[in-house]
Structure formats: structure tokens, C-alpha cells
Amino acid sequence: MRFRGRTVVITGASLGVGLSTARRFHAEGANVVLVARRQGPLDEAAATLSDTDRVMVCAADVLDLQRMGEVFDAAVQRWGALHGLVNNAGLHHRGPVGQRQPEELAQMVDVNLRAPIALTRMALPHLQAADRGFVINVTSLAGKIPLDGAATYSATKFGLRAFSFALAEELRGTSVTVSAVSPGPVDTGFIMDDIDEVADITFSQPVCTADEVADMVLDCADDGVRERQWPVMGGTLATVAYLFPWVRRVLRPSLERRGRRRKAALKRARGQA
């Protein structure tokens, strides 16, 4: 019960990693505020949590800063303080830049980068007023290596990691910690519902579960470690490939073959082959 009595706002909380994170915090005693755009899925998500006195659902678009300010205020009014913010909501329009509309690329930047930065700034006074606060930004291994075919998505995750690390330095020595959680492919609808459009190389890394990502989020909230990544070896390889682009070019054919095999196996397991 590491988070008994603490209040946490989680974006993108109606499914996938966000919902798993809400369940984990709730199981460890936290008051959880579930934020997503649609009320119906939020209500369904909240119904899976046993003690509804510690649950608040707020239908809101993370780009609507006025509405999100109301969410933060409502959490503080109900429970007296805000201790944590998990920026989990994300968007990925897949494909090369030249195949996407400019508006789609701008929307990815807005949801994946602009919103977390703005929401963190809005939550910061509340977090600083609490006895201990934290911000967890859910990034990606795509934020550790320039990913062609997902250039804009990769750029937003690079940016969110940089923001996380820089803000952590700004807040060093205060009661607020900032962490990034960087998973590889995650077995949620974010990828699996669109698996044919996902690049083969993405599946060169083992697929983790939403619960495994949620565990990393809670561990970062607890100890303030700057970044957790999964798989660890995949993160190391991504760093090497970023520093030495020729390594990535050499390894790419074999990684794509491995990813293609793993992708086919996943599709067969789900009856999609």
C-alpha cells in the first residue's frame, strides 16, 4: 500500500496501459482520477475498481487545458491534495511523413508532447503543495532511436523524454520527482488493433503487457528513478543505434526478419493470420 491516501491523475485511463496503471495505484491505496475523452469507456473502466469512493472519472480531452484545469481542481477539492500525474494519453498515425496529412502530424505533436508539457505545468503547483509529488511521462523506446516510418511519433517521444529529464533537473532537491517510462511494443489495442500497419522492426523487441508497464510507472512514482525501460537490452541497443547509425543500418535486415516472425506468431495466436 505504497500510495495509501495519495491522489493520482492518469490520462488515457479508459483502457490499456492507463487502465492498468489506475488499477495498480488503486490496489495500493491511492485515490485515482481517470481521464479520457469518452464517458462510456471511462464508466466501464471505473466499474472494474472495487472501492468507488477512491475513484473519480473525468471525460476530458488533454488538449482542452481549461477542462483539464477543472479536473485538477476537482481532485484537490475532493481529496485535499494532488500527489501525482501520469501523462499516458498518446496518439500514433502510422506511416512515413509523406503519407500522412499535415493535420495528422500536428495532432500527434499536440497530444504526445504539447499536452503533457502543459498539463505538467498546470499540475506542478498542486504537486509542490503536497508532501511529495511525482510526474510520470509514458514515453517509448521510439524516443531513444530515430524511427523511420514513424518520424513524427518518434520525435514526440524524444521530446517528451528530454522534457522529463530536463524538468527532473530543474526540480532536483525539491519534493517533486519526474520520471520517464519507456517500453517497447505493448500488447494493447494501441498496437494490436492496427498490427498490419505496424512496422516489422517494432516487433524485433519482445512484447510486454500493460501490467508490466504499469508496474514500472508505480516503481518510478515510488522511488523517483529518472527512467525505466523494457526490455532493458532493447533500450541499450536503441541507444547504441542512436549513437552509431551505421550499426542500425547493419542490424536492420536481421531485426526486421525477427520482427516479421514474431508479428506473424502474434497474429496466429489471435486468429488474425
Phi, psi of 155 (to 5 degrees): -65, -40
Report d(CA 112, CA 255) in Å as an integer.
Answer: 27
> Is position 153 annotated as part of the catalytic site?
yes
> 505538467: which residue's cell?
120
* Rama region for 256: left / alpha / beta (φ>0; ψ in -120 to 50; rest): alpha
Structure-derived torsion over alpha carbons of residues 114, 118, 123, 124, reported in degrees to the nearest 10? 110
Residue of 3, 72, 134, 153 with catalytic role: 153
Report d(CA 15, CA 213) in Å as an integer.
Answer: 13
Report d(CA 100, CA 109) in Å as an integer.
Answer: 13
Report d(CA 151, CA 157) in Å as an integer.
Answer: 10
The set of catalytic residues is 153
